[in-house]
Each structure stands twice: as C-alpha cells, then as structure tokens.
Structure 1
Amino acid sequence: MKSINVQISEFEFNQLGLNKDTLSFSELVEIISKKITKQTLDKSIQLANKYGLSKMTMEEIDDEIKAHRNAKNNS
C-alpha cells in the first residue's frame, strides 16, 4: 500500500468536517464528493430563487419538460 501526505489548512479541515488525521483515499473522495454535491445543490437553489423557478409547481415543471422534449423531437 502507498501513502500520500496532503496538507490542508485548519479552516479547510474544519470546513470538510474532518475528525481524524488519517483517512483512506476512498474516505477522502467520499467527503469531498459530498461537499461538492452540497455546493452544487446550494447553487441550484440560489439560481432557482433568482429566476423564479422555485415557485413552479410540479405540474408546471412537467409541462416544461414535455414542451422541451416535444420541441427537441420535432426539430
């Protein structure tokens, strides 16, 4: 097994919610993936609020999807 040493700031350590100094690579990937997913979700929510999409009903969303698919299939 190989080992690598990654140095991060105390702020980054806390921001990632790390609680131990030694992690497997798969643990690190999982932690970082969750962080990126959360950031992406937060950005999506922010954009939905900005453009008024957060107020759409599920029926309106379904109608938009159907319209887009129909336009794509007819072009």
Structure 2
Amino acid sequence: MRKPIFKTKRMMHIIQVKISDTDFQRYKLEGQEIKFTDLVDKISLEYARQSLLECNEIAEKVELSKMTLDEINAEIKAVRNFIA
C-alpha cells in the first residue's frame, strides 16, 4: 500500500521596508513587491560590486595592476617556494 505524499505548506510573511529613492534606484527595484531571496541577491550583488571596486583601487595604489603576467607568475612561484 502506498503512502500518500503530502506537501507541507510554507507560511509566508509580509514585511514592510522603508527605502530611500537612491537605494531604490541603486538596487534596481522595480515595483512594490519583491521576494526576499531576490532582495538579498540584489543587495549581495551590490556589496560584491563595491568590494570589487575597492580591490581594484587598492591594486592600483600598490601598482599590482601594472604587473605583467610573468611578474605575477614569478610572485606566485616565490610564495610557493617559500611555503614548501
């Protein structure tokens, strides 16, 4: 005899969040409703973008952005030899 398969219903909650016009535009929000997971994705993407820009600025300050591929490979090799 087969066991019936029951799907559990997930309870959804609704929250209200006040957000400035600049943040509304920054996160490219389009309407009144958004799934929480989509909001988290949009905010995470913006944080990742900001982090990438900061890393790029640091790389330029310490002149990593001017290194050639050969120089980068030599640095990697030196670190690997130091660790070993």
- Which category describes the TM-score, using the shorter chain as reference length? 0.7 to 0.9
Q: Which runs of 4+ in 1 moved over 6 A?
A: none
> Structure 2 unaligned runs (5+)?
1-11
Instruction: Measure how far apart 1:28 and its partner are.
Output: 0.5
Name the CA distance, whole Å, in 1 between partners of 2:66 and 2:19. Answer: 40
Does structure 1 residue 63 correspond to structure 2 residue 77?
no
Return the index of the structure with the highest Cα Rg: 2
Instruction: State, as a whole percentage, how many aligned pairs show the same letter.
Output: 40
Pairwise CA RMSD: 1.2
> Structure 1 unaligned runs (5+)?
none
Does structure 1 residue 17 correspond to structure 2 residue 28?
yes
Name the CA distance, whole Å, in 2 between partners of 1:60 and 1:36. Answer: 30
Name the CA distance, whole Å, in 2 between partners of 1:7 and 1:68. Answer: 49
* AA in 2 matched with 1:69: R
Does structure 1 residue 40 correspond to structure 2 residue 51?
yes
Instruction: Report the TM-score when normalising by structure 2.
Output: 0.77
Higher percent of residues as helix: 1
* AA in 2 matched with 1:52: E
Name the CA distance, whole Å, in 1 between partners of 2:62 and 2:39. Answer: 35
